[in-house]
């Protein structure tokens, strides 16, 4: 209950340890609320949330890294220091934290922006830095709230591929909230459609992913899933 309003109701969800679940739905459906409950930032009024057997909020906080919908970069830190934030929080000296974060800048097309403060960066760059910061926290569970929403279509496709590769190399549990049904279907094994706080559809994505992206997104199986998701969103 938030402000006396029932935001989520009867959501029942099980994700395997290396599973990737997409959550789509209109804005106000309760997607962000679901992520903060899972993260242990809030507690549900009823029901239970367990991550690897850990049900207490502190235990969930220790296992989850949340990339908030707003990038939440710290205005007083450079791009590099923002990306390295979780490492410093974990006790690494600043120099060492920077050394670990720096190589990833080039990989995400951020080379040259290391020393700039967030105010000097575009929305898309800020979002990539927030994404990096979340990955570098090195938690088993990633909660991504519309991580690529501020990016142009080309950069978004590149980052989706990069994320898919990174997750293939180093599997983690991912809850991906997005308003982009295609993105959810491309990156996740299962996609939930949330509407007014309830799960109104659950889709298993069993399309071949190793084919080139264009082939995947135009395959009949993919198109049918997309249709079903869009219909459920309403």
Ligand X SMILES: Nc1ncnc2c1ncn2[C@@H]1O[C@H](COP(=O)(O)OP(=O)(O)O)[C@@H](O)[C@H]1O
Binding site for ligand X (CB under 6 A): 2-3, 5, 7, 25, 27-33
Binding mask 22-41 for another protein (x = CB under 8 A): --------------x--xxx
CA distance readout (Å), 60 to 36, 55, 218: 10, 7, 38
Q: Does 137 bind another protein (CB under 8 A)?
A: yes
User: In the sheet where 20-24 sits, what is the strand order?
Assistant: 64-67, 141-145, 173-177, 20-24, 190-195, 198-204
Least distance between ligand X and beta carbon 170 (Å):
27
36 is written with which tokens?
A: 């903060």
Nearer to another protein (CB atom), residue 97 or residue 188: 97
Q: Does 32 bind Mg ion (CB under 5 A)?
A: yes
Answer with the entry of ligand X, another protein, Mg ion, none that 5 interacts with (C-beta below 5 to 8 A by kind).
Answer: ligand X
Q: Give the range of 132-140, 153-161, 169-177, 193-201 binding another protein by CB under 8 A.
A: 132-140
Tally of helices (H runs) and strands (E runs) in the chain: 10, 6
d(CA 201, CA 95): 47
d(CA 163, CA 106): 15
- Beta bridge partners, 67, equal 144
Binding mask 80-99 for another protein (x = CB under 8 A): -----xx-xxx---------
d(CA 151, CA 124): 5
Would you tell me which residues interact with another protein (CB under 8 A)?
36, 39-41, 61, 64-66, 68, 70, 72, 74-77, 85-86, 88-90, 117, 119, 133-134, 137, 139, 143
């Amino acid at each position: 209950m938030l402000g006396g309003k029932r935001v989520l109701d009867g959501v029942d969800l099980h994700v395997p340890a290396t599973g990737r679940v997409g959550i789509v739905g209109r804005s106000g459906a309760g997607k962000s609320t679901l992520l903060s409950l899972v993260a242990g930032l809030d507690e549900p009024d009823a029901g239970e949330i367990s991550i690897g057997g850990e049900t207490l909020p502190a235990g969930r906080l220790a296992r989850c890294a949340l990339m908030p919908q707003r990038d939440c970069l710290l205005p007083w830190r450079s791009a590099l220091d923002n990306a390295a934030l979780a490492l410093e929080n974990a006790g690494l000296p600043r120099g060492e934290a920077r050394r670990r974060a720096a190589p990833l800048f080039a990989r995400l097309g951020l080379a040259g922006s290391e020393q700039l403060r967030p105010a000097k960066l575009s929305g898309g760059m800020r979002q990539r830095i927030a994404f990096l910061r979340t990955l570098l926290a090195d938690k088993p569970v990633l909660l991504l709230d519309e991580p690529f929403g501020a990016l142009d279509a080309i950069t978004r496709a590149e980052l989706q591929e990069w994320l898919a590769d990174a997750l293939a190399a180093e599997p983690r549990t991912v809850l991906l909230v997005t308003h982009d049904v295609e993105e959810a279907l491309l990156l996740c094994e299962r996609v939930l459609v949330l509407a007014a706080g309830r799960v109104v559809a659950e889709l298993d994505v069993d399309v071949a992913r190793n084919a080139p992206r264009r082939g995947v997104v135009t395959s009949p199986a993919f198109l049918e899933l997309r249709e079903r998701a869009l219909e459920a969103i309403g």
